[in-house]
Chain A
């Protein structure tokens, strides 16, 4: 059974109980629908993908006419959401943490333009890098842009905060960030829904220059953002999601942020924590609450999922000398995801672990699926590249990144979306010839096109491999913005059509692929080699659907 079926089934069961079993991401999707959005904008990225998928699959969203198609990348998604907000409607934009780097220009400036219709940016961070290149903490982006950040501790709070977030955004006149992490994103729990808010009417911004960030106007807008900071902090202080539970034991006080609050609670099952606890789920950090806490403790332990943002902040704010424990002083690890065990250790509790993992247990790294077209492309590539020194193939982010691992070991970089094209170009400019790039179809339209344009304009000597499986596969087979457009994009950017070669990556065409690689490596200029075969998982899904359709055409 598919995950989606599960939710449908369970939500049916639970409608009677008024409680819904939602993944954190589903709770957010449902809250956005109930909160009155007119559109969601996103590019797939674990662990944020299912928010948008949930809205795409929702009948309720379809009936409301909520727009939900995938965007080409996070920046286009962000800007479109801002445009929807400009027009007075509520919008949500979703991405994984590194996606915010792509959208950062729009994000930072949208704090200064402010919003018209309520705008929520939901960012899903991935501490421990389960499916990511880094574990950056998006709360820093929120602080950097000086906007409110909401950090729910559980699925219900995720629902509530998104539902309330649109109102908050409209009240304060700025975008609001909802920050979650992998664990909350991909864990289910019961969630109660709230009343549905109607969509906003189309309504122009009152001030016609609000969105015109010419220096003179931008300076005014920025000042107004600065002036709002006190109001943001007041909101955080008044928020029911932030609170202080004072206790008599003064040796320690604990600040628990977002999901870390659950890990603290797990260690005090009967609500018998002897220390004063501050739960923090809405930022900016309310200084008043910190100073109140200061009265009740001699030392402070900060529990936060991500970087030591709160820990650094509180160190500088206490009026009396208070020792601060957390990720910076080693009470908790400096990196990686938190859990109840690490919190227990920081509290000095004993843990009775189970038996050790026997030494015969080996790792099972993820691998390309049997029958995947990337494999055939890599086999041909490896045969050709054997003639040269290693390290000449740059790559990108997608299933094909697994080509870095045995048995292929074909690629030598995975940095950020689109970087394969530009890094290959830079290396070729430096004299590393041949230099190749391996990029997927969706990654190419996400951020590879502009790099290809640079290569064409510079006539760089590169071979760009677009391994096209016609879907965004690593995140579960979403529709690729590139579908049916790659050759015309490459031609439009200026690649010589004679050097745009299209092949089907299959065993029987191995020799042809090898020969084509050799021909294009010999050509001094920009070549694009497109290897096109449907993702094997997508093909299996398509066949299942077709079979179902044949059995019951009406369904």
Chain B
């Protein structure tokens, strides 16, 4: 059993919070984990990616080989496309549809969504909107985590336990908001995968 996840986004979007929770959940399950991050120059508004590998066997490479990722989990639609060569033919793209536009030549959002829809397996979700409706746009990463949950080999309750553990210091309200966001994403993915 292994789940190889490419986490994609733009520097500053906080993709590591997603990795944090999945990592905590994986470790509680006594699974092996490797997670390669982007630090340094790209954090200034550049494309950032994290390779998250979870397995019941020891993991060799810190990087996911091409054509073998089970999920591309992207908090930004164009970034979801950047790592397609890593995605397995059976793998899922799970992406936020709200663009992060910080370059003048950013393509038309419709064209990006068209490209995503060309892929065999995808979940495209307006996580910012959904999080906003729930109560706080900042929970959009938890919507995204929820949307990816059906494709991760860890039970959603265990991931929720990870969310609770990670946010517990910030109070019950924050925990509940993030759990609600997670569940909303999960429901959406189950209905739209």
Contacts and interface: CB of A to CB of B under 8 A. Distances in A.
Residues of B contacting A: mostly: mixed
B132 interface: no
Contacts of B27: 10, 13-14, 17, 19, 21, 190
B39 A352 contact: no
B156 interface: no
Given A364-B10, A366-B44, A368-B44, A9 B165 contact: yes
Contact of B107 (A9, A13, A23, A360): A360
A265 B60 contact: yes
A340 interface: yes
A354 B41 contact: no
Given A10-B27, A263-B60, A355 B41 contact: no
Number of chain A interface residues as a range? 35 or more
Given A13-B24, A21-B27, A130-B40, A265 B61 contact: yes
A408 interface: no
Interface in B97-151: 102-103, 105-107, 111-112, 115, 119
A429 interface: no
- Interface-central residue, B23, B41, B45, B59, by most chain A CB under 10 Å: B41
B39 to A, nearest CB: 5
Interface string B53-84: 00001011111011101000000001001111
B91 A354 contact: yes
Contacts of B41: 46, 130-131, 366, 474
Contact of B61 (A14, A49, A131, A263): A263
Interface in A340-355: 340-341, 344, 351-355
B64 to A, nearest CB: 8
B5 interface: no
B67 A188 contact: no
Interface in A393-412: 399, 402
A183 interface: yes
B36 interface: yes
B38 interface: yes
B81 A358 contact: yes
Contacts of A262: 60-62
A361 B115 CA distance: 10
Nearest to B57: A269
B62 A184 contact: yes
Contact of B40 (A47, A189, A266): A47
B28 A13 contact: yes
A364 B36 contact: no
B34 interface: yes
A186 B112 CA distance: 30
A369 interface: yes
Contacts of B24: 9-10, 13
Contacts of B88: 354
A183 B34 contact: no
B153 interface: no
Interface string B18-35: 001001100110101111
B11 to A, nearest CB: 7
B16 A1 contact: yes
A362 interface: yes
A475 B40 contact: yes
Given A1-B20, A14-B27, A351 B67 contact: yes
A130 B61 contact: no
A346 B164 CA distance: 45
A549 interface: no
A76 interface: no
A402 B43 CA distance: 13
A3 B39 CA distance: 10
A190 B29 CA distance: 13
Contact of B66 (A19, A21, A187, A354): A354
Contacts of A204: none
A430 interface: no
B90 to A, nearest CB: 10
B86 interface: yes
Contacts of A341: 65-66
A13 B119 CA distance: 38
Nearest to B91: A354
B181 to A, nearest CB: 15
B98 to A, nearest CB: 16
Contacts of B10: 364
B81 A10 contact: no
Contacts of B59: 189
Contacts of B165: 9, 13
Contact of B102 (A339, A352, A367): A367
Nearest to B10: A364
A366 B69 CA distance: 26
B63 to A, nearest CB: 5
A322 to B, nearest CB: 27
A365 interface: yes
A6 interface: yes
A114 B115 CA distance: 61
Contacts of A23: 37
Contacts of A131: 39-42
A186 B36 contact: yes
B18 to A, nearest CB: 10
B105 A362 contact: yes
B44 A402 contact: yes
Interface string A1-39: 101001001100110010101010000000000000000
A387 interface: no
A216 interface: no
A367 B47 CA distance: 11
A206 interface: no
Given A21-B23, A340-B65, A187 B36 contact: yes
- Interface-central residue, B24, B111, B112, by most chain A CB under 10 Å: B24
| Smallest CB-CB A-B distances: 10 pairs | A131-B40, A46-B40, A265-B60, A266-B61, A187-B62, A187-B36, A354-B87, A366-B46, A366-B44, A131-B41
Given A130-B38, A368-B44, 17 more contacts: A10-B23, A21-B23, A47-B39, A183-B63, A186-B37, A187-B37, A189-B32, A189-B33, A189-B35, A340-B60, A354-B86, A356-B85, A357-B81, A360-B112, A367-B44, A367-B46, A474-B40
6 contacts: A17-B30, A131-B39, A187-B36, A354-B67, A354-B84, A357-B83
